[in-house]
Chain A
C-alpha cells in the first residue's frame, strides 16, 4: 500500500459569497521513498494540497491516508503527534529569528519533551549532514538564503520523519543554491529513505530530482505518472507548457518560424536548385534518452534520406540524473518522406511526438 494516499480530495474556500474550489477531486498515491513532484503555475492549488497532507488545511471532502492512518479521523492531539512525524520546509524558511541555529534545530525535539542534552546531540548530528556544523551558534539573520534552508531541512529532520514536505523550497534561491539544496534533498532521500513531496512551479526542480510528478492546473490534477514518461510524452496542455517553457508551446515555435523565414528562404533556394522541397511540412518534438544522445542520429538521418530537416529548437535537460536531449524538428513537406523519417527515428530509439 502506498505511504501517502490522497483520495478524492476537494478543498473549497468561501470568500464573501463566492465559493472557490481550490482543489477538485484529486487522487494521488505516493509510494515509500518516492520523490514526488507536484507542479503547477501559481494559484493552481498546489500549496493548499501540500497543507492537506499534514492537515494544516483540512479538506472539504475526501481523505488523506498516511501509512494506513486516515487523518480526518484523528483528534487534535493525535493530529499533532502525526504532524510531528512529517517534516516540512517552506519557501521563506520560517526559522525562529530569535533563536540560534542549533536551538532552531532542537525546537521540534523540545516540543516533544526530549531532554536538552539529547536534543543538542541530535541537532549537531543533523547540522553535520546539512554541512552547517560551524554555524551552530549563529543566528538565522547571519546566514544566506541557502544556509537558512539547510537549517530548515535539519529542523524538519529532527523528529526523524518518514515524510518531508517541501513547499516551494527553492523558489527564493538562486539557481546555484537551488542545485545544492536539491542535491541535499536527493541525498537525504537515498540515505535515510525519507519520502519527499516537492511542491514547485519550476520544471527543472522536478526533472532534476523527482521520480514521479503530478501536474495541477486550477485545482485539477491534469496529469501524473513517472517523470521520464511525462517528460517524453506530455499529454495535457499544462504539461506541455511546463516542459517546453513558460511562453513556448506552439506560439513560440510559430514565431521562431517567422523570424527564420528570411534565412530559410535563402537555404531553400539553395536546396530547390537540387530539386529538394525545403518548406516545412510537419513539426515533431523528439526526445533522446540514454545512449541515443551520443549517436549523431539526426545527421545520419539527413545523410540517409539525402533530405534536410530544420532544427527549430534544441535543448538538453537533466531528468532524474540523466542527460536528456530535446529537439523540435521541421520535417520536409513530402508525406512519404515524413513517415520514413519518423520510422527511422523510432528505430533508433528516439521518442517522437507531433506538435
Chain B
C-alpha cells in the first residue's frame, strides 16, 4: 500500500517518538522526583515543614504548568539552541519536554508521597529513623506503586506533548502527521500516525500498570 520509503519514515517516526518520550520522562524524573520529595517533605504536614522552601517550589511548579506547552516550546527555543545546538529535531524537543514535565512529575510524586500512612512514618520515627531514612526507606518504598502509576500517567502525557512538538519541527510521529496530514493533505499517512501513537500509548499504559501491580505487596 505504501512505498518502502514511506514505511521507513513511519518506522523512524516511531523510533524518534519512543526515544523522545522515554528520554524526557527519565530526565523529567531526575528533576521532578527530588522536587516532588521536597514538596512533600516541606509541606506543613510533612516530616520537615519549611514554608519558604515549599512556597518557592510550589510557585515554580505552578508557573511552568500554567504556560501552554506550545508557547513554552517557542519561548524556550533560544535555551534549547544553547543546550543542544539546534532548535529542531527529536533531541532538541527533549529540552522543552523535560522542562514542562518536571513540575508535573513533581506534583504527581508529591501526591503519591502524601498518601503514605502517617502512622507508618511515626513508627519509623519511634525507631530512631532520620528524615533521610524515612524518605528512602518509608516514603519512596511505601508509595512505589502509586509512583509507578504516576509515571505511567506522565509517560502518556509526555507522548502527547511530543506529538505536539511536531508542529514546530520536533521530529517523530507528530512531525510526520503535521507535515503529511496538514501541509500535504495526505490523510492516509496522518491516520496511520495517529493509529501508531494510540498503539504506543496502549503499550506504555498497559506495561506501566502491570509493573505497578506486580510490585504492590498489599494484596
Contacts and interface: CB of A to CB of B under 8 A. Distances in A.
A215 interface: no
Interface string A39-64: 00000000000000010100000000
B130 interface: yes
- Size category of the B interface is 20 to 34
B127 A94 contact: no
A96 B126 contact: no
Contact of A95 (B120, B126, B216, B219): B120
A107 B122 contact: no
A56 B126 contact: yes
B215 to A, nearest CB: 8
A159 B126 CA distance: 11
Nearest to B119: A94
A90 B123 contact: yes
A238 B138 CA distance: 40
- Which secondary structure dominates chain B's binding surface? helix
A351 interface: no
A349 interface: no
Given A90-B122, A141-B219, A96 B141 contact: yes
Contact of B144 (A83, A94, A98, A155): A98
Contacts of B142: 96-98
Interface string A85-102: 011101010111111100
A108 B138 CA distance: 12
Contact of B217 (A56, A81, A141, A159): A141
B120 A96 contact: yes
Interface string B105-148: 00000000000010110111111111001000110011011000
Most buried by B among A83, A87, A111: A111
A111 B138 contact: no
Contact of B128 (A92, A111, A139, A152): A111
Contacts of B215: 98
Contacts of A107: 124, 127, 137
B138 A96 contact: yes
A111 B120 CA distance: 15
B123 A88 contact: yes
B88 to A, nearest CB: 44
Given A92-B119, A111-B133, A84 B219 contact: no
Given A94-B120, A95-B120, A96-B120, A84 B141 contact: no
Interface centre among A84, A96, A141 (most CB of B within 10 A): A96
A99 B219 contact: no
A139 B145 CA distance: 15
Contact of B127 (A95, A99, A111): A111
B51 interface: no
B184 interface: no
Contact of A94 (B122, B130, B216): B122
A80 interface: yes
5 contacts: A54-B126, A84-B127, A96-B138, A97-B120, A98-B216
Which 5 pairs between the two chains have the least Cβ-Cβ distance? A84-B128, A94-B123, A88-B126, A94-B119, A80-B128
Interface of A: 54, 56, 80-84, 86-88, 90, 92, 94-100, 107-108, 110-112, 139, 141, 152, 155, 159, 165
Given A56-B125, A94-B120, 14 more contacts: A82-B128, A88-B123, A94-B117, A94-B123, A95-B120, A97-B217, A99-B141, A100-B217, A108-B127, A111-B124, A111-B129, A139-B217, A139-B218, A152-B123
